[in-house]
């Protein structure tokens, strides 16, 4: 075929794709169809016919590529080019007023003159899309803000998301952030047609659909998306406001929430909140609050970030939905550290789309304060729309029974003692208590500790109950023989109605043993954290790992040495000292080391590149995520801070730095370009 004919076919194909993209945009984004379904089908068939005739011309941005495709074996992890931050929350107007006062203090202008882009807070799943030369090449979940899961195949099935940006005025590389959701009607249709799995709420349905390994299942679900911000951009977008960003996104073909509005000051925010809250039930998709973003992008830069959230935005959450139910009974739950928590068993009731049958009672002081008894009719809510709790009594039960803390642990029979000057009571059984033992092992294998995947709570519970493992070191003694025929659940046969045991299969056993063997080399700080010492979190574990070269050195440390370390108080220091002077704990650690577990030692403090130096990072980094750079500095003896002060050793600056740069200049703090800093690190 001549090059002239090939060029004509390419042009025809491009015209058909552009027409279908335009029709899709009007139908799925603007809700304003340009043609009938029949006319659309004719155009789509033209595309299919052309691509079948010339398969070498099929491109990733073709509307035909929205079809699911082959199932995945797993989701791969991918890094975002720019970090995705969370939002801080307020629940009451007084807290919103305090937020406004902080803005005034930082911007030196009256909050009445601050314009906000007010947007409904969608109850869905955050997504980050990466476009290169206008074509969608990657879609990732938020994850931890730095790294998410690659869900590109599933996202491509969502017809309201452009595979190719409209127009031509866009940067070569662009990240776009939004929320994937399922409408209320879509949610009802999924549950009515899905006999295998009933979703608790629309958010769970959206998350479950997006994380299907089979894209064909995702394609069958009514997923939709709104977009609200731009992440990384390789070029200057010439945008000066958040509302301008939304307008730009709309022109590129993204669906923007029709309820968004520009408001001014506290009064404007309150009025918008009141309006949206009053119409919440009529909105066709789930929302759980309002997000206020300072509209001026220069003001956003000046305000910067604090910890995991921007200072220039706040989420004003709606009140938690409340329902009335009855306390049927109370059980006492034992946690990892032995704290005994009373938990109410309730008559099941739906709260915010979730069936609630249990609620925490916190402690006996809280029970006495609210005068709660078994048999009472109570109001419950999901605190922060997550944790069920009892708000108050509606009616006292006719035969109400007093809730009494047991004298002995329900799990092991050991004495329960009230901790002096504290509101809680503890089981004194320690790791002889099966509940504490299970919780300690669950903590040990968790992601932030040893990160041994594939070993969950149910499996650990069965292993402890069957006395196959008694402590964390026993995990390293597991083998095929010990796991073979282990009952992990029971089921009922449909034909006879009889129960039968579900046991671990050969493949499951192989995966469990591989998960353990894959984590036989671990950082010293992770290992210290995995031990579950009371009051020892990730930061304290890092401090201990930085100071001591080995677990042996740490076990020999005395109380006076430990308490001198940064951020370690007397309670934590005593817990650490006592832990390493307990014979059983030392024996358990030695057994793990003797099983082949290797701890990666910290460098000696005098060899550390940044010994006791404190760094602050600002702006978009080149070639490395902020989290990875922070960890690298910490591993080399340095400290990380979120704010610039006279004690800051240096400010590491990437692209588009915030107000931290100006503060560093005023204080005379050393400023290092991130590329120059990489040269110091030799990476």
* DSSP-assigned letters across all residues of 373-386: EET-EEEEEEETTT
Burial class (CB in 10 A: 0-12, 13-18, 19+), 249: buried
Beta bridge partners, 175, equal 130
Region at 185 (left for phi over 0; alpha for psi -120 to 50; beta for the rest):
alpha
CB 138 within 8 A of CB 130: yes
Distance CA 358, CA 352 (A): 15
Nearest 5°: phi and psi at 452? -90, 105
Strands (E), 58-114: 77-79, 89-90
DSSP H or E run through 544: helix 538-547
> Cβ of 559: how many Cβ atoms within 10 Å?
14
Helices (H), 54-160: 93-107, 152-155
Q: Using the structure block, give the residue that is written with the tokens 């604090």.
A: 306
Sheet architecture: strand order including 639-640: 639-640, 614-618, 650-653, 670-673
Instruction: Give me 323's structure tokens.
Output: 């329902």
Q: What angle do CA 262, 266, 272 make, to 5 degrees?
A: 50
Instruction: Find the helix or strand (DSSP H, E) in which 546 lies.
Output: helix 538-547
Residue 344 bridge partners (DSSP): 330, 359
CA distance readout (Å), 525 to 445, 546, 572, 621: 14, 8, 16, 26
Catalytic site residue from 121, 164, 437, 438: 121
Q: Three-state SS for 554?
A: helix
Is 121 designated active site?
yes
Backbone angles phi, psi at 499, to 5 degrees: -80, 150
Token pair in block for residue 579: 């832990």
- Is 261 in contact with 162 (CB distance < 8 Å)? no
In the structure, how many helices (H) and strands (E) does the chain have?
A: 24, 30
Angstrom distances, CA of residue 663 to CA of 71, 175, 300, 616, 676:
51, 29, 15, 12, 21
Phi, psi for 343 (deg, rounded to 5): -125, 125
Q: Among all residues, which ones are annotated catalytic? A: 121
């Amino acid at each position: 075929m001549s090059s002239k004919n090939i060029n004509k076919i390419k042009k025809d194909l491009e015209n058909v794709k552009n027409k279908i993209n335009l029709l899709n945009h009007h139908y799925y984004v603007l809700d304003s169809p340009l043609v009938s379904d029949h006319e659309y089908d004719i155009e789509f068939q033209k595309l299919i016919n052309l691509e079948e005739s010339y398969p070498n011309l099929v491109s990733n941005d073709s509307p035909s590529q929205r079809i699911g495709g082959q199932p995945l074996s797993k989701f791969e992890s991918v890094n975002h080019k720019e970090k995705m931050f969370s939002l801080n929350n307020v629940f009451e107007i007084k807290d919103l007023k305090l937020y406004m006062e902080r803005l005034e203090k930082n911007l030196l202008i009256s909050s009445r003159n601050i314009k906000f882009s007010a947007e409904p807070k969608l109850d869905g799943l955050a997504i980050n899309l990466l476009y290169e030369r206008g074509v969608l090449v990657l879609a990732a979940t938020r994850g931890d803000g730095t790294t998410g899961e690659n869900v590109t195949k599933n996202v491509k099935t969502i017809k309201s998301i452009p595979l190719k940006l409209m127009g031509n005025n866009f940067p070569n590389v662009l990240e776009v952030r939004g929320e994937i959701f399922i409408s209320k009607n879509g949610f009802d249709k999924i549950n009515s047609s899905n006999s295998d799995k009933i979703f608790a709420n629309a958010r769970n349905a959206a998350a479950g659909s997006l994380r299907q390994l089979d894209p064909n299942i995702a394609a069958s679900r009514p997923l939709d998306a709104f977009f609200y911000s731009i992440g990384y951009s390789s070029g200057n977008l010439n945008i000066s406001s958040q509302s301008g960003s939304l307008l730009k996104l709309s022109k590129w073909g993204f669906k923007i929430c029709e309820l968004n509005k520009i408001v001014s000051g506290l009064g404007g925010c309150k009025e918008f909140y009141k309006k949206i809250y009053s119409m919440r039930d009529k909105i066709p998709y789930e929302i759980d609050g309002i997000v206020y973003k300072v509209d001026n992008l220069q003001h956003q830069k000046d305000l910067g970030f604090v910890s995991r959230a921007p200072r220039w935005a706040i989420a004003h959450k709606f009140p938690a939905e409340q329902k009335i139910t009855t306390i049927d009974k109370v059980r006492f739950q034992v946690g990892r550290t032995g704290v005994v928590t009373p938990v109410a068993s309730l008559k099941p009731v739906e709260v915010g789309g979730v069936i609630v049958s249990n609620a925490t009672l916190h402690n006996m002081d809280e029970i006495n304060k609210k005068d709660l008894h078994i048999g009472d009719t109570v109001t419950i809510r999901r605190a922060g729309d997550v944790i069920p709790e009892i708000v108050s009594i509606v009616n006292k039960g006719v035969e109400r029974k007093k809730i009494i803390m047991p004298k002995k642990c329900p799990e092991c029979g050991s004495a329960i003692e009230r901790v002096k000057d504290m509101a809680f009571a503890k089981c004194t059984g320690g790791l002889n208590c099966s509940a504490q033992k299970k919780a300690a092992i669950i903590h040990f294998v968790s992601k932030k500790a040893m990160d041994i995947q594939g070993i969950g709570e149910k499996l650990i519970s069965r292993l402890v109950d069957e006395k196959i493992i008694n402590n964390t070191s026993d995990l390293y003694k597991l083998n095929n023989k010990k796991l073979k025929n282990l009952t992990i659940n029971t089921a009922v046969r449909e034909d006879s109605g009889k129960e039968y045991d579900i046991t671990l299969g050969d493949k499951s056993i192989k995966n469990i043993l591989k998960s353990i063997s894959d984590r036989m080399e671990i950082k010293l700080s992770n290992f210290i954290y995995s031990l579950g010492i009371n009051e020892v979190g990730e930061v304290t574990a890092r401090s201990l790992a930085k100071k001591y070269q080995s677990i042996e050195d740490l076990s020999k440390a005395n109380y006076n040495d430990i308490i001198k370390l940064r951020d370690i108080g007397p309670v934590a220091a005593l817990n650490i000292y006592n832990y390493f002077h307990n014979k059983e704990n030392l024996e358990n650690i030695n057994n793990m080391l003797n099983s082949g577990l290797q701890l990666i030692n910290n460098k000696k403090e005098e060899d550390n590149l940044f010994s006791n130096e404190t760094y602050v990072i600002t702006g978009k980094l080149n070639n490395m995520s902020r989290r990875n750079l922070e960890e690298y500095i910490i591993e080399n003896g340095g400290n990380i801070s979120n704010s610039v002060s006279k004690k800051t050793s240096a400010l590491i600056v990437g692209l588009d730095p915030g107000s931290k740069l100006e503060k560093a200049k005023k204080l005379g703090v050393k400023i290092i370009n991130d590329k120059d800093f990489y040269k110091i690190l030799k990476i």
